[in-house]
Amino acid sequence: MLDFTDEQKMARQMLRQWCDKELAPNVARMEKGEILPYDLMRKLVRAFGMDEMVKAQFQKLEESGEQKGAPRERGIGGDPGLMAVVSMELSRVCPGFCLAFGASLGLAGGAIMAKGTLAQKVKWALPILTMEKIGAWGMTEPDAGSDAFGSMRTTARRDGDGFVLNGQKTFITNAPFADTFVIYAKLEGEDVARFRPFHAFIVEKGTPGLSVGKPMDKMGMHSSPTGEIFLADVRVPASQLVGEVLGEPSREEAREVFHGERTGMAPMTLGIIERCLEDSLAYAKERETWGHKIADYQLIQEKLTRMYVHRENVRNLLFRQFEKMHKKVPITMAEASACKLYCARACTEVALEAVQIMGGNGYMREYHVEMLMRDAKLLQIGGGTDEIQIITVARHLLKDGIPQ
């Protein structure tokens, strides 16, 4: 696959119009925390009939009954290209909005869709995917970020026919306002804590013992509320254990979501890169110093060229993913991590260069690249840091060789 299909291009055009009309005028107020992104997300989902598409998918799912182990459809209407187009267009205008949208649908909704029972999907994933409810995905803890599995301290204790959760999560997207939380916890037991199995639990807002902190003050992604989750003797019935089966290794489940988070970041980075490049080209052709447009200077041309090379590489990585998904060829962990590492670094570099090309203006809030630069940096941290991607790639290369 070398380019988007005609249908995807048309969707892209319509999304761009929606973003210009509905999203862009609200970005400044969302960034200042004067309004939350959720009503706009609902508007987006309804404007494009995404809720109806999801409902139709669910109807098929219900008609076919419980399909445990059946391959999961990815993306809207099973089309990862369309989901990528949504991500790209939202990220051009407001990466924070895209992050909050993706964390609810892709992470919280995705975790329940990946391993939940049919009843759990219908009760908790469907309202997230249609945006009636907002989801948060809680893995990271104050002392367990990169080493999320090994150092996790949140516990689940068996209690009659349910579980009692205790612990704390931090840096969780949407946590301050979410309705449905997917919380990872280690089962209390006799074995060595580091290797204890852990599981995902669905916790609803308002459950006794569950509380959340205020939105955290961050460098960027201001349109995406981030916060802490506190669990003090939170009792959940067994029906809220994702998959409802104990003992199955949940690491695989969480890794699958990490995998999705890693590959899913590429369209966000491409959206940011393309917008930075477009704005930089326009600026360089306008701005004059010493009686010349700055576009005439080779130092500026070198920056524009490097930005374009990154755009080409990120785009090629993305289309390679689509091709593999289309042919149902698995994307290896080394590929997913290499892709995330390259795309996130390229995105930060391009956004920084866009600021540089615009000089003092680039440093001002009035210029869009200022926000894009701060937002881009998060993509090198969230979903596994650059360093963790490097370690992952090297480990898989040394163990399995170069993926073909």
The binding site for ligand FAD (CB under 6 A) comprises 103, 137-140, 145-146, 171-173, 218, 221, 226, 378, 381-385, 387-388, 391
- Look at the block and give the residue holding tokens 């506190």: 230
Nearer to ligand FAD, 26 or 380 (CB): 380
Continuous segment of H or E residues that includes residue 317:
helix 298-326
Least distance from C-beta 272 to ligand FAD, angstroms? Answer: 15
Least distance from C-beta 32 to ligand FAD, angstroms? Answer: 17
Q: Answer left, alpha or beta for residue 133, where phi above 0 means left and psi between -120 and 50 means alpha.
A: beta
8 Å CB contact between 190 and 177: no
Print burial letters for 263-292: b (CB count within 10 Å at least 16), e (below 16).
Answer: bbbbbbbbbbbbbbbebbbebbeebeeeee
Reference 330, options 256, 386, 394; nearest CA is: 256
Continuous segment of H or E residues that includes residue 136:
strand 135-138
134: Cα within 13 Å, side-chain hemisphere: 21
Question: Catalytic pick from 261, 274, 335, 370?
Answer: 261
- Look at the block and give the residue holding tokens 């946590």: 175
Nearer to ligand FAD, 173 or 280 (CB): 173
The alpha carbon of 298 is separated from its chain's Cα centroid by a whole number of angstroms, namely 37
Residue nearest to ligand FAD (CB): 145
Helix and strand counts by DSSP (H, E) for the chain: 16, 9
Active site residue 252: no
Nearer to ligand FAD, 89 or 228 (CB): 228
Q: Cα(164)–Cα(19) distance, rounded to whole angstroms?
A: 43
Least distance from C-beta 22 to ligand FAD, angstroms? Answer: 24
Q: Cα(333)–Cα(330) distance, rounded to whole angstroms?
A: 9
Q: Cα(68)–Cα(64) distance, rounded to whole angstroms?
A: 11
Residues labelled as active-site residues: 261
